[in-house]
A and B are shown apart, each in its own frame.
Chain A
Amino acid sequence: MTQDAGQLMERVRARDADAFEALYDAHHRVVYGLAARMLGDALAAEDVTQAVFLKIWTAPELFHGGNFAAWIVRLTRNRSLDVLRVRKSHGEAELPETLPEEEAVEDTAFANIDADNVRKALATLPPEQREPIELGFFGGITHDEIARRSGIPLGTVKTRIRMGLKKLRSALGTMVTV
């Protein structure tokens, strides 16, 4: 019987390598894919993937329950932002604050979403909404920097991101529910 991530994490806390392997099998694609998208570098993505999963193994107590997928996405994005910070030379744009990993919201929607459906839903957004969302999330830059690069007012950027996320949520329909 397939165990959910919370049950597997309980076993990981008890140093069960098989449970850890099951977590890896279930989640490594989003971890590696997200890191690869943010860093544009397969080697760096491997390093981030390894760091994220070994963090899970060595410090499973950092997961306080809730949505494991959301938590591991935050771990991955934050770790990738760390890599981007190291890469950034002085004087370049400020990177956004890392998202608090303990705030991974209590919902079970993510586990049921098919990646292809998410891509299709993203494709339904108008470019002026999709692009700042992708640039902000995967590019690891602040909304100020998005505004500067796109040459549109900051308030407009915020509005487009908000509208885009709401439209995306609607497009995903019942697959994303809180």
Chain B
Amino acid sequence: MNGSHAEIFDDVAVYALGTLPEAEAIRMREHLETCEECRDEYEALAATVTAVARSAESCTDATNGAVYASPLLKARIMREVRAQSATKTAPATSAPKVRSLVWPAYAISAACLVIALGFGAVNLSLTNRLHHLEATQQEAATTRTVDDATVADLLNERAKRYIVPGGEVVRSNNHVYIAMDDMPQPPAGKVYQAWTQPKGSKVMVPGATFVPDRHGVAILPISSNASLLHAIAVSIEPPGGSKAPTTSPVVLELLE
């Protein structure tokens, strides 16, 4: 781009498209501040470029492999937003331990959720989850689709939610889940293992092992009869899990 107005005018389209190198873009920006003709041209073409972006809009579901933003992405974002919103608006007194709403109610395509039965965890990032499953085929022996009831449990606004380090424990419709969204990776060569303590018992019953995805997210179904449980815990264990906890719990929550 040089100083000739005609040549600058010719560059307005490539500037609107966002393909000018930095130095030329700066000169164009300065020119647009003083040239009404080029400014009009730019505004007309910029609106069209915005429309070009719209052509890449993703689909509402993953049918036929369409580009599709997982609704679980929204869950992660809204969780952070609502947490910050609550922080901004909460009174100075201590925050309630049980939040009324963490997972916003939204339409969700249960067909896109996959659970690793052998591995026991449902990671929230679909792509990550698939990569992870691929990398742990020996542990994830099979997969199945999560049913709508499970998704509904996790999104239930009336669920009881216990805040724990890295996430929460969700008790919904007498089902219990560990739902983590900021859980560090376990040490190399280790996994997390869930434990349950039945009411009236002092023994921790071993549950599934799991690791969070790279966002620190994982959901672990714990029990379908919460009323029988006194507590749940998570500890760091060797791959395959242990028969009794070998480390101090990183999560320990009483359900009563």
Q: How far is the CA of A54 from the CA of B127 in the complex (A)?
A: 21
Whole-angstrom CA separation of A77 from B51 in the bound complex: 13
In the complex, A40→B55 CA distance in Å? Answer: 15
Given the contacts A137-B52, A161-B19, A172-B48, A43 and B127 also touching, CB distance less than 8 Å: yes
Q: Does A168 lie within 8 Å of B69, measured CB to CB?
A: no
Please judge, given known A-B contacts A97-B21, A178-B44, whether A17 and B82 are in contact too, CB under 8 Å. yes
Instruction: Check if B230 is an interface residue, CB within 8 A of chain A.
Output: no
Q: Which residues from B are CB-within-8-Å of A134?
A: 52
CA distance A152 to B103 in the complex (A): 53
* Interface SS, A side: helix
Q: Type the 1/0 row for B43-65, where 1 means its CB is closer than 8 Å to any CB of A.
A: 11111111111111111100000
Q: Chain B residue with minimal CB distance to A99?
A: B18
A118 within 8 Å of B (CB atoms): yes
Question: A115 to chain B: closest CB distance in Å?
Answer: 4
Q: Interface size (A, Cβ < 8 Å)?
A: 75
Given A21-B104, A136-B14, A136-B18, do A110 and B47 touch, yes or no (CB 8 Å)? yes
Within 8 A of B (CB), among A146-178: 146, 155, 157-159, 161-162, 165-166, 168-169, 172, 175-178
Bound Cα distance from A136 to B13, whole angstroms: 11
Query: What string of 1s and 0s marks CB contacts (under 8 Å) between B1-36 and chain A?
Result: 000000000111110111111101110010000000
Q: Spot the interface stretch: B73-81, B170-178, B195-203, B242-250.
A: B73-81
Residues of chain B within 8 A (CB-CB) of A94 are 21-22
Cα–Cα distance between A21 and B105 once the two chains are bound (Å)? 11
Closest to A134 in B: B52
A54 touches B77 (CB 8 A): yes
Give per-residue flags for A38-53: 1 if the beta carbon is below 8 A from chain B beta carbons, else 0: 0000110110011001
From A99, A109, A118, A177, contact of B55 by CB (8 A): A118
B144 within 8 A of A: no
- Interface status of B138 (Cβ within 8 A of chain A): no
Q: Does A5 contact B (CB under 8 A)?
A: no
Q: Among B18, B24, B52, B125, point to the contact of A118 (Cβ < 8 A).
A: B52
Residues from chain A with a CB closer than 8 A to the CB of B59 are: 29
Determine if B74 and A178 form an interchain contact, defined as CB atoms under 8 angstroms apart: no
Instruction: Report the Cα distance A114→B47, complex, angstroms.
Output: 14
CB pair B19–A141 under 8 Å, yes or no, is yes
- Verify if B223 is at the interface (C-beta below 8 Å from A): no
Q: Does B145 contact A (CB under 8 A)?
A: no
A165/B21 contact (C-beta < 8 A), A28-B74, A46-B125, A118-B54 known: no
For residue A117, give the distance in angstroms from its CB to the closest CB of chain B. 9
Closest Cβ neighbor of A145 among chain B residues:
B19
Q: Is A158's CB under 8 angstroms from B14's CB?
A: yes
For the complex of A and B, the 3 pairs showing the least CB-CB separation, nearest first, are: A162-B13, A97-B25, A33-B58
A-B contact list, 5 entries, CB within 8 Å? A46-B73, A73-B54, A97-B26, A115-B55, A178-B43
